[in-house]
Every structure is written in C-alpha cells, then in structure tokens.
Amino acid sequence: MLVSDALIEQAMTTTGLDRFDSTSYREGLDVLLADYNSYDHPEPLIERMRGGLVQSLVDRLKTTDYLAKRPELLTRPVERPLFVFGMPRTGTTLLSNLLACDPARRSALTWEIEQPVPPPTTATLKTDPRAIAKLEQEKAMLAARPEMGKYYRNSAVYPNECMFFMIHDFKGLALESRGKLKEYRDWLFQTDMTSAYTYHKRFLQLLQADAPGAWSLKMPSHALWLDTLLETYPDAQLVWAHRDPFTATSSFCSILSMAHRGYTGKVDYEWLGEDCPYQAQLHLDRIMDTRERLGHDRIVDVHYADVMRDPMATIRKLYADLGDTLPPEAEAAMQAWLDENPQGKFGKHEYALDQYGLSVESLAPKFDRYLSQYDVAREG
C-alpha cells in the first residue's frame, strides 16, 4: 500500500528539503492513492508507481527551493504562450516538434522537464550533460526495443507535454492512465485546476530563467480546462489539433493499454473501451463549449490530414492565422526535421477498435456533435 505521508517523507529525505510552495498537491495525491490502493498490484509495479510519485514530489521541492533562491524569476512574464491541444492522438506531438524547430520559439524539452534544477541556458538547451546522458539512454532503449519508436515520437531534446510537470500538483491524466482509476478520473474532471496552472506558470518561470523565448507548449488535455488556462495566461494562443475521432480513439486505447501493462501488469480492455471514448468525447465537447463562449476566432484549427498531406503549407497557414510570419530559417529547420523523421521511421503503430469492444457504429453518437460542425477527413 502506498501512503501519502510516507511518499512525502521519502521525497524530503532524498532532497534534504522540507518546503513546498503550497499544499495544493495533497488532495490529488490522496485521491489517487485511495483509488490505486483499492486494487492488488504486483510488488515490482507498486515500486515503479512509488518511484514516479516520489520523483514528482522531489521535483516540486527542488523547484520551490530554486525559485526561493531567485525570487525575481517569479516577476518575469510568460507572454503569449502558444498551447496545442485536442482529443488525444490527433497529431499534437508532430505539430509541437515542428514548432520547436523555430529558433524564436521555446519549448519545454523532455530532459529539462525531468531534471529542471538547475535550469539550462539558451546555449546548453541541447548540450547540457543531462541532455546528453538522456540521449544515450534513449539510444540504448531504441537499440533494445526499436518498436517503441512507432508509438510516440519523443527524444530528450524534443518538446514534451506540460502533463509531465503539471503532475507535480497530482492533477493529470498521465496518472489516471496507470490502471482502472475511475474515482481519480471523475475527481479530476470536476476539480478546480487553478493550482495546477499556477504551478505550470511557476515551472515555466524556472525553465526560462536563463533560456527565455516565446513558449510553444502542448498537452491534449489542456482541452479540458481552457477557461482555467486563460485565467492564468489571458494572452495565450490556442491551437486545436483535429483528426478522425474514430482513428484517434483507437490509437488512444492502444497507448493506454501500454500504460496499463507498465503499471498493473495486465490490460483491462473492457475499461479502456469505456474510458477512452468517454474522455475523447469530453475533450471535444469542452473545446466546443469554450469556443462558443469565447468566439470562433479565439482558437486556431489545424487538421492532421493537412499536416500529413503538405506539412509546410499547413505550418505557414498556422503562422498566418496566428498573425505571425514563418521565418525562412525556421521553415528550413522544420523541413530538415521532417526529412530526418519520415512517417513510419520506426514502423507503423497498429491498433483496432474491436480489440476494446468498440466499432465506428457504437462510437458515432459520441462524435456526432463534433463531426456535424467540423469537416474532418476520415482515415478508415
């Protein structure tokens, strides 16, 4: 059994630190553990869960300590951050990787999310010893399991999701994916996310200490909390990634099945067949509800099919829709990234709805509102 107080004590012992910026993390941690502990899990996987939770607490302690030593960082603005979101598995990763090629943009890179203290400088964003060490680990992993590259296009020096630092507040769907955690999921979808976005901003203020820039950020589930996001970042640029929702749901089920194996040792196909469509519809409905309140033009649309067909034309249009101009050096860097990372470089990610007791016919009512409003290219 995992116990909140014991995890917190372990994190404090590990760091030699004992002060968090707030106690906002505690409710989510307690709800998560109550749900997680209600099931039996193999001891090695409980230890894996423990390690991840303690690391989130360690990172929050270190972030708090660093910002206390450099309080001026909290006065520096985070101006016009760009957020890419949508229902899961709609091409947000590809889009964020392309945006990260623009030298004028700043992305939260995988290695610095995992090891934020001390933050890097602009010159060392991709050459910091921590980045190099992570790249070596990644190289070894792909050599041992090359099939992993087809599921998620990531690297130590590529941008990663805001999720992986928002979970320092223990509010995030990455935690929900670690088993059948319905109580935690339902709590998360109705809870006030203000503290998570407050922490999100603090974390960016840490990362931009000596490596500033115009932030480009991505997390599909920003879709769920756009009103709270805008309370924290009123001048945010919002980009909605669209894709065939039937294909995206199938891919979503597949990705979560891997998380289930990693944290429970088995896959609950029936639960995923219920959970993933529910989440997919909620993502879409909440974006559409928010757009109706904000006005259509407040959110910019990008379609996965357009990115696949002509990525650079799609990026140029995105920049124009945002009121920006795509610089030639950024376009060249994006094209170089595309040339280096062709679709299917590591193989094709295979998935099917019927593995989870689903079909296009059974899902159609969930996506009727969305597909009646948006002309989304079908992939099936």
Tell me what percent of the residues of the chain surpass a pLDDT of 70: 96
Architecture of domain 4-373: 3-Layer(aba) Sandwich (3.40)
- For residue 347, pLDDT over 60 is answered with no
Mean pLDDT of 229-258: 97
pLDDT score at 119: 98
* pLDDT attached to residue 154: 75
| pLDDT score of 202 | 98
Q: What is the mean pLDDT of residues 89-115?
A: 96
Q: What pLDDT, on the 0 to 100 scale, is given for residue 149?
A: 58
Could you give the residue ranges of the DSSP H alpha helices within 72-178?
Answer: 92-99, 110-114, 129-144, 163-166, 173-176
pLDDT range class, residue 144, cuts 50, 70, 90: confident
* Mean pLDDT in residue range 177-200: 97
pLDDT digits 0-9 by tens, 8-35: 999 999 999 999 999 999 999 999 999 9
pLDDT at 138: 87
Which whole-number Å values give the CA distances from 209 to 20, 75, 114, 165, 225, in the listed order?
Answer: 20, 11, 16, 17, 27
In the predicted model, is pLDDT for residue 345 greater than 80?
no
pLDDT at position 380 over 80: no
Helix (H, G, I), strand (E, B) or coil at 131: helix
The yes-or-no verdict on residue 349 having pLDDT over 90 is no
On the question of pLDDT at 150 being above 90, the answer is no
Residue 344 has pLDDT above 80, yes or no: no
* 150 vs 200, more confident: 200
Residue 107 pLDDT = 97
Q: Work out the pLDDT band at 350, boundaries 50, 70, 90.
A: low
Q: What is the pLDDT of residue 273?
A: 97
Alpha-carbon gap, residue 374 to 376, rounded angstroms: 6
Confidence of residue 342 (pLDDT cuts 50, 70, 90): confident
- Could you tell me which residues come within 8 angstroms of residue 135 by beta carbon, excluding any fewer than 6 positions away? 111, 155, 156, 157
What number is the average pLDDT over the span 348-356?
Answer: 78
Separation of alpha carbons 300 and 375, rounded Å: 15
Residue 118 DSSP label: S
Whether 130 has a pLDDT exceeding 70, the answer reads yes
Read off the pLDDT band of 147 (50, 70, 90).
Answer: low
Q: Is 91 left (phi over 0), alpha (psi -120 to 50) or beta?
A: left
Whole-number percent of the chain with pLDDT over 90: 92
